Amino acid sequence: MIHPTAIIDPKAEIDDSVEVGAYSIIKNNVRIGKGSVIGSHVSIDPFVTIGEDCQIFQYASVGATPQDLKFRGEETYLKIGRGTVIREFATINRGTAGGGGITEVGEDNFLMAYTHVAHDCKTGKRVILANNATLAGHVTIGDYATIGGLVAIHQFVRIGDFAYVGGKSAVVKDIPPYVIAAGDRAHLKGLNSVGMQRGGISPETVSALKKVYRIVFRIGLTLNEAVERLKAEVDPLPEVANFINFVKTSSRGLTR
């Protein structure tokens, strides 16, 4: 059902099952998949694709132009994955030509009230952003990561899979997968064992990752020395390989 006060551009492609609330504005070149619900007073700007079964609550701003002084009106995009929930007053910007041209919010994300996802950010599946979490441009967040309330993440930072960032943290360096980080500036607090268990990671894998964490962060080795010890002493599980690849490819430096 589309409320009669909603304003929808004729060039928008909206599945017949989509609900649109009162006074919402949906502009041209927007696509919305079946089963999605758009609340009242939502603004959806051009070049936005919203997957199936999403929920967007009142007063959210979806797909506005980037807050980037280099942006010159080029055609860029925002893609929101299936099953994502976007709560009140959240803001998500499109990409920029210099950053790949697209912002991507993954499947089954939960963006709470007042969260901000800036241009060219990418989030994996089942990511949670708690109230007022703020992502600067070009931030990448892995699968099953949780970002606490009032967290500010610097541009170009990466957050690994299953990472947990505590509330009111300021994050200026990459946070590896499977860890807990918190503080201003954020520093590591240990492994996110509870989050991994809830996500179905086996006890054997969690045990291996504990060894990984100790070798990399607790015994004073250089990163290259730590990686060589990991290869020699820890079972080559997919999660271990993911951790090693993450730390080896960090360009901003690692949170420790």
Does 108 qualify as catalytic in the annotation? no
Residues 121/137, Cβ–Cβ less than 8 Å:
yes
How much of the chain is in helix, strand and coil states, percent to nearest 5?
A: 20, 30, 55
Taken in order 113, 114, 120, 123, the sign of the CA dihedral is negative
Q: For residue 46, which amino acid is it? A: P
Element (H, E) at 231: helix 223-233
Tell me, what DSSP letter sits at residue 66? P
DSSP structure string for 161-227: TT-EE-TT-EE-SBB-TTEEEETBTTEEEEE-HHHHHHTT--HHHHHHHHHHHHHHHTS---HHHHH
CA–CA dist 164, 146 (Å, integer): 5
Which listed residue (21, 124, 137, 148) is catalytic?
137
CA–CA dist 7, 20 (Å, integer): 10
Q: What's the first-to-final CA gap in the chain, in angstroms?
A: 50
Tell me, what DSSP letter sits at residue 46? S
Which listed residue (45, 108, 120, 174) is catalytic?
120
Which listed residue (51, 83, 119, 138) is catalytic?
119
Does 120 qualify as catalytic in the annotation? yes
CA–CA dist 85, 172 (Å, integer): 27
Does 119 qualify as catalytic in the annotation? yes
Active site residues: 119-120, 137
